[in-house]
Amino acid sequence: MLDPKSLKYQKSHEWFSADGTVGISDHAQKEITDVVFVEPPKVGRHVKRGEACCVVESVKAAFDIYAPVSGEIVAANAEAGKNPALVNQDPYGKGWLFKIKASAPDDAAALMSASDYETFIASEAAHGSH
């Protein structure tokens, strides 16, 4: 399992690790509740930062997952596709969604640190917007 404090985050609640792995935060998986379906991106697809490239469906609704950096999708988590509950059970481990090979390394610099993300979640909760 990855250490959530070592990851970078987007306001749309995706996390990004230094090796290019992407998933959704523990906060996000709790908000969307029981994940029932994962539609991973196609390996080889080129995406731009902020582009919807994956779908996670819960008992509540379907949620687009956005690329945290521009680049090429180099892996998709087939295990999460077969067992979507992994996204809830282990969001920083077996519940990862895809891996991306960044084409614009500077994109990662625009992401939030774990402490900035925690501050963002707290302010979002204080304003009642999810």
113-128 pLDDT tens trace:
999 999 999 998 888 7
Q: Residue 24: which H helix or E strand, with range?
A: strand 21-24
The pTM of this model reads: 0.94
- The pLDDT tens digits of the residues spanning 40-54 come to 999 999 999 999 999
At 129, the pLDDT band (50, 70, 90 cuts) reads low
The CATH number of the structural domain formed by 4-121 is: 2.40.50.100
Query: Position of tokens 């999708």?
Result: 73
pLDDT for res 126: 85
Domain boundaries, the chain: 4-121
